[in-house]
Amino acid sequence: MSPAALALVLLVLGCAEATSSRGARRPNVVLILTDDQDVSLGGMTPLKKTKALIGDMGMAFSNAYVPSALCCPSRASILTGKYPHNHHVVNNTLEGNCSSKSWQKIQEPYTFPALLQSSCGYQTFFAGKYLNEYGAEGAGGVGHVPPGWSFWYALEKNSKYYNYTLSINGKARKHGENYSVDYLTDVLANMSLDFLEYKSNFEPFFMMISTPAPHSPWIAAPQYTKSFQNVSAPRNSNFNIHGKNKHWLIRQAKTPMTNSSIQFLDNAFRKRWQTLLSVDDLVEKLVKKLEFHGELDNTYIFFTSDNGYHTGQFSLPIDKRQLYEFDIKVPLLVRGPGIKPNQTNKMLVANIDLGPTILDIAGYNINKTQMDGMSLLPLLRADKNVTWRSDMLVEYQGEGLNSSDPTCPGLGPGVSNCFPDCVCEDSYNNTYACVRTLSASWDLQYCEFDDLEVFVEVYNLTADPFQINNIAKTIDQEILEKMNYRLMMLQSCSGATCRTPGVFDPGYRFDPRLMFNNHAVRARRFSMLSS
């Protein structure tokens, strides 16, 4: 097909044009996604080269969040540009729609990589962890290659560093435990460099590189196992304290933690940092390769994580899944054409924005999608008078076991991830939804739990950045009512309605009578909790 014919096809299908007015190829995009990397507890500290090569050469977002603090729902949000209530991936299980047949049929054909390939003529490359249940027998095994990927090198199931299986364009390849050929972070780096060496030079490309680090089992490369020997988990003001006035799952944590728990989490913290040093090497190799091939100046590079992590906050030893900053806030660094270096952006952004942003870069009309997110391109280019959101939704559906944990029989069924010392990190009724608000007047989080208590947590992060004091019973009643109503609106939003003005936007309008019309059940719950 001639370039003119290709441009016409892409115009019809959704991309504005195949090339820019000067005839240059559309920008390339690289998305590097880590696994469980926090930003609130120093998770970026080991990544000095990444900060220098991406953050210092472009923009760092200081308020980047995920709409669900768990791997599979968060990754589904990245791919679809949607909140969990719209892509319906609620946890890490097949039953929770993680890589299920339903996900494959309903959501996968409309992910942003599928649109990039089919409508914009991009060659697309994936390497690493996809979704936690990818490759499971009930999900079609590793023979399933999602639509939209020209080159597919996906990890079977959850993060590992050795002894894993990759789907190589639908064919299984097993790896062992020989560092030089099997260490997954390095394997992903080498596959990425090979793609850049042998790809077509006539089409733009998109790469998604999804590392296992710093997810458990925290196995560092041999050369890094002695690093950070004197490092411990941060002892900030919410470390090893009782989570008073919080949901029962937080209150059940044992305070003070045992010495064995503290030793366990300190060791995990150190090992997590060690695994990230190989990610830092991957970023350096990738940037050097792009520069060597003359592609760097025409390539956007995004670096982020699927969720945060905690190590000892409110006496919860290690995990994610909670509504607090340490679990929902993630790093986001971006460099690329038109982005000035050494910038920090304080706007409230979310990983549902990545898909619309990358499609916008490619010239796709994002108004034709059903995505809930917004394009970050105006922020990256520092456009003036940009209208931006002041709030976003965080939602999570808890996971619990039907049977008792054999190591903690006294806890009974319904809880999960009870380690160490039988402190449970999740349960069926650890199910909540929050509005995270960041505006000129408020830095606020409002959360409701879907449980018998109808428990509410509210935090003023201006006065209480570590979220120690739940002010649900003392905050102004009008604010509480407005936040309750805004939460109901966001939980039922889709597409453009997810981007309507928040409670503290000048354009926000609140009619309390509406609380008792379309949302009678939730309104009754609210009247119960506020009485």
Residue 525 phi, psi dihedral angles, 5° rounding:
-60, -45
Beta carbons of 212 and 184 less than 8 angstroms apart: yes
Q: How far apart are CA 180 and CA 302, in angstroms?
A: 27
Kindly tell me the burial class for residue 250, based on how many C-beta atoms sit within 10 Å of its own C-beta (0-12, 13-18, 19 or more). buried
Which residues partner with 165 through β-bridges? Answer: 174
Catalytic residue from among 15, 71, 72, 447: 71
**Cα 157–Cα 159–Cα 163 angle in degrees, nearest 5:** 85
SS3 51: helix
3-state SS assignment for residue 426: strand
- In 3D, which of 414, 394, 393 has the Cα closest to residue 403? 414
Say which residue the tokens 């008073």 belong to. 244
> In 3D, which of 132, 99, 119, 68 has the Cα closest to residue 393?
68
d(CA 141, CA 134): 7
Query: Which of helix, strand or coil describes residue 61?
Result: strand
CA distance 278 to 287: 14
- Active-site residue, 15 included: no
Of the candidates 125, 188, 137, the one whose C-alpha atom is nearest the C-alpha of residue 161 is 188
Handedness of CA 304, 307, 309, 315 (dihedral sign): positive
Cβ atoms within 10 Å, residue 461: 16
List Cα–Cα distances, 293 to 199, 282, 296, 335, 467, in angstroms. 11, 17, 8, 17, 47
Residue with tokens 């340490």: 326
- What is the distance in angstroms between the CA of the first residue and the CA of the last residue of the chain? 69
Residues 312/268, Cβ–Cβ less than 8 Å: no
Residue 156: Cβ within 10 Å count: 20
Specify the DSSP class assigned to residue 340.
P
The residues annotated with a catalytic role in the active site are 71
